[in-house]
Amino acid sequence: MALLQVNDIHVYYGSIHAVKGVSFEVNQGEVVTLIGANGAGKSTVLNTVSGLLHPRMGSVEFEGHDLKGVAPHKVVSHGLAQVPEGRRIFLQMSVEENLEMGAFTQDRSTIAPGIADVYERFPRLKERRRQIAGTLSGGEQQMLAMGRALMSKPKLLMLDEPSMGLAPILVEQIFDIIKELHAAGTTILLVEQNAQAALAVADRAYVMETGTITLSGTGAELMASDQVQKAYLGG
Partner 1 sequence: MSFLNNVITGISLGSIYAIIALGYTMVYGIAKMLNFAHGDVIMVGAYVCFFATGSFGLHPVVGVLLAMVVCTVLGVVIEGLAYKPLRQAPSLAVLITAIGISWFLQNSAQILWGAAPKVFTPVVSGGLSLFGGQLNISYVTILTVVSCLVIMAVLSAFIGKGKMGKAMRACSEDKGAAQLMGINVNSTISMTFAIGSALAAIAGVLMCSAYPTLMPTTGSLPGIKAFTAAVFGGIGSVPGAFVGGLLLGIIEIFAKAYISTDLSDAIVFLALIVVLLVKPSGLLGKYVPEKV
Pattern 104-123, partner 1, x by CB under 8 A: xx------------------
- 50 touching partner 1, by CB under 8 A: yes
| 215 Cβ contact partners less than 8 Å away, ≥ 6 residues apart | 206, 207, 222, 225, 227, 228
Between 81 and 213, CB nearer to partner 1: 81
Phi, psi of 222 (to 5 degrees): -70, -35
Which of 18, 2, 7, 5 minimizes the C-alpha distance to 58?
A: 7
Give the nearest distance from C-beta 225 to partner 1 in angstroms.
32
Between 88 and 179, CB nearer to partner 1: 88
Cα of 5 vs its chain's centroid, Å: 15
Alpha-carbon distance of 196 to 45, in angstroms, equals 21
- 29 touching partner 1, by CB under 8 A: no
Alpha-carbon distance of 11 to 18, in angstroms, equals 6
- 204 touching partner 1, by CB under 8 A: no
- Total binding residues for partner 1 by CB under 8 A? 34
User: Residue numbers of the site for partner 1 (CB under 8 A)?
Assistant: 50, 52, 71-77, 81-82, 84, 88-93, 97, 100-102, 104-105, 132, 134, 136-138, 141, 148-149, 152, 165
